[in-house]
């Protein structure tokens, strides 16, 4: 009986070598029926199932890339009949749903599953991050860092979460360790570039992102880091060229379009900026930054009433974020108020009077902006670097709440 089982296992190994994982699974199951004590059969069955799942997942991705998400989901559903709790399949299927609700349902399943091996833990951490359960995600990444401190991917994962938590100094420590472990990791370099940008170290951000692109021309986010850093450095012609290149990439986001519009406004083309904002950013993606960019363009076009309407909307959204204690919202609210003060001052300089029909109390909003900026700097030192690079705050540094930071 054992000899027949061994022959079946040998045939299964040959089938796997030829890529026929279904037959390998069948042969291993037959071997186990004949001799349940044969350890080789158990191991080969596990390998055959893993190979089959990996092969099918690749087919699902191919179907999705060809525009057939329904087929991609069907492949995943078939796999789940074979292995109902396989987190790799559930996680993969989450990318192929047509609705955000269905995708979140799969991610919640992955987050709820017990995970012990590094691959499952990484999927769990990523799922938690996509569900915006950032504190839990950080805990899982920290577990991975302890389990496998020599794996650069774990340090990168924790850095990304800490960046989302606006703990940029800790994120920089993690991603520096990732780059030390794997200097050729394009992913680690582009994440470090992102952290540098958030810390206001724009030149270093550009260097890291360009190095990442040199290592992997298709690495996601590198073009966005470069374009946005050039924008923050007021290098508008270069920034425009970078944004044009970025808009041809699949990862271009609503935030990228918004920043691109701001560049066009700075280049004296506010009409193009407004057209871009209206055409490229869907209504359900028009958040605070979009309204601020639209106000900026309308102000440049001296369409004051419309500018202040969008500024009001941005201010309302920022106040809501502060009330929810969302990360980074103090600085954003301070900037929004400072931007409104700038609109009022430009309105006055155009000979139209200060206050824009009393919709803006300039002194009150200046005082509130200064106080909020002080709080933001005290809670996150990188806010000072951003504020000093933002022209909206140029006239604020003599304010009593901010004088202490003038020489810093």
**Pick from 101, 155, 108: which is nearest to 132 by CA?**
108
Q: Is the pTM of this model over 0.85?
A: no
The Cα 264–Cα 275 span in angstroms is 11
Judge whether 138 and 121 are in contact, CB under 8 Å.
no
Say which residue, 335 or 265, is predicted with more confidence.
265
The stretch 235-251 carries a mean pLDDT of 92
pLDDT, residue 328, reads 63
The Cα 43–Cα 52 span in angstroms is 14
Q: How confident is the model at residue 354 (pLDDT cuts 50, 70, 90)?
A: very low
Interacting residues of 275 by C-beta distance below 8 A, sequence separation 6+: none
The Cα 319–Cα 327 span in angstroms is 13
The Cα 24–Cα 40 span in angstroms is 13
**Pick from 341, 337, 258, 323: which is nearest to 297 by CA?**
258
Judge whether 239 and 231 are in contact, CB under 8 Å.
yes
* Domain residue limits, the chain: 1-93+119-127, 151-219, 299-408
pLDDT, residue 102, reads 93
Say which residue, 351 or 252, is predicted with more confidence.
252
Q: Which of 95-99, 175-179, 249-253, 346-350 has the highest mean pLDDT?
A: 175-179
Q: How confident is the model at residue 273 (pLDDT cuts 50, 70, 90)?
A: very high
Digit-coded pLDDT (tens) for 131-179? 999 999 999 999 999 999 999 999 999 999 999 988 888 999 999 999 9
Q: How confident is the model at residue 326 (pLDDT cuts 50, 70, 90)?
A: low
The backbone torsions φ and ψ at residue 194, rounded to the nearest 5 degrees and listed phi first, read -65, -40
**Pick from 29, 103, 112: which is nearest to 72 by CA?**
103
Digit-coded pLDDT (tens) for 355-405? 445 456 778 888 888 888 888 888 777 777 777 777 788 888 888 888 887
Q: What is the mean pLDDT of the chain?
A: 87
pLDDT, residue 333, reads 82
- Is the predicted pLDDT of residue 31 greater than 90, yes or no? no
What is the percent of the chain where pLDDT is above 90? 42
Digit-coded pLDDT (tens) for 196-226? 998 889 999 999 999 999 999 888 889 999 9
Interacting residues of 222 by C-beta distance below 8 A, sequence separation 6+: 186, 190, 193, 209, 210, 212, 213
In the CATH scheme, what is the code of domain 1-93+119-127?
A: 1.25.40
Per CATH, 1-93+119-127 and 151-219 having the same topology is answered yes
Task: Tally helices (H) and strands (E) across the chain.
Answer: 21, 0
Q: Tell me how far CA of residue 373 lies from CA of 26, 362, 378, in angstroms.
A: 66, 16, 9
- Is the predicted pLDDT of residue 186 greater than 70, yes or no? yes
The Cα 408–Cα 391 span in angstroms is 17
Would you state the CATH architecture of domain 151-219? Answer: Alpha Horseshoe (1.25)
């Amino acid at each position: 009986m054992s000899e027949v089982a061994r022959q079946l296992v040998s045939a299964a190994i040959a089938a796997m070598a030829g890529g026929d994982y279904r037959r390998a699974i069948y042969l291993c199951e037959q071997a186990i029926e004949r001799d349940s004590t044969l350890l080789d059969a158990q191991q080969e069955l596990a390998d055959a199932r893993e190979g089959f799942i990996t092969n099918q997942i690749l087919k699902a991705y191919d179907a999705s890339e060809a525009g057939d998400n329904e087929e991609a989901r069907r492949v995943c559903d078939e796999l789940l009949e074979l292995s109902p709790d396989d987190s790799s399949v559930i996680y993969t299927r989450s990318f192929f749903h047509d609705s955000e609700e269905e995708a979140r349902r799969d991610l919640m399943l992955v987050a709820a599953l017990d995970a012990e091996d590094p691959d499952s833990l990484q999927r769990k951490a990523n799922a938690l991050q996509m569900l915006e359960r950032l504190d839990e995600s950080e805990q899982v990444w920290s577990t991975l860092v302890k389990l496998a401190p020599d794996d650069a991917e774990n340090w990168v994962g924790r850095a990304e979460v800490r960046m989302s938590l606006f703990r940029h100094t800790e994120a920089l420590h993690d991603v520096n360790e990732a780059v030390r472990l794997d200097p050729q990791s394009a992913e680690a370099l582009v994440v470090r570039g992102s952290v540098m940008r958030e810390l206001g170290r724009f030149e270093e951000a550009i260097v890291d992102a360009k190095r990442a692109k040199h290592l992997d021309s298709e690495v996601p986010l590198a073009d966005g880091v470069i374009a946005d850093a050039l924008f923050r450095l007021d290098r508008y012609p270069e920034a425009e060229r970078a944004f044009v290149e970025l808009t041809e990439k699949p990862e271009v986001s609503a935030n990228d379009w918004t920043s691109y519009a701001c560049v066009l406004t700075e280049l004296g083309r506010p009409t193009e900026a407004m057209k871009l904002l209206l055409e490229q950013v869907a209504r359900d993606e028009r958040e605070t930054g979009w309204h601020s960019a639209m106000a900026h363009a309308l102000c440049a076009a001296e369409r004051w009433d419309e500018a202040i309407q969008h500024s009001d909307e941005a201010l309302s959204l920022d106040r809501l974020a502060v009330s929810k204690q969302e990360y980074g919202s103090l600085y954003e609210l301070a900037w929004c108020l400072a931007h409104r003060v700038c609109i009022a001052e430009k309105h006055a300089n155009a000979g139209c009077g200060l206050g824009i029909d009393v919709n803006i109390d300039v002194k009150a909003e200046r005082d509130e902006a200064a106080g909020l900026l002080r709080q933001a700097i005290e809670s996150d030192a990188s806010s000072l670097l951003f504020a000093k690079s933002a022209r909206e705050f140029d006239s604020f540094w003599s304010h009593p709440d901010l004088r202490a930071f003038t020489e810093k």
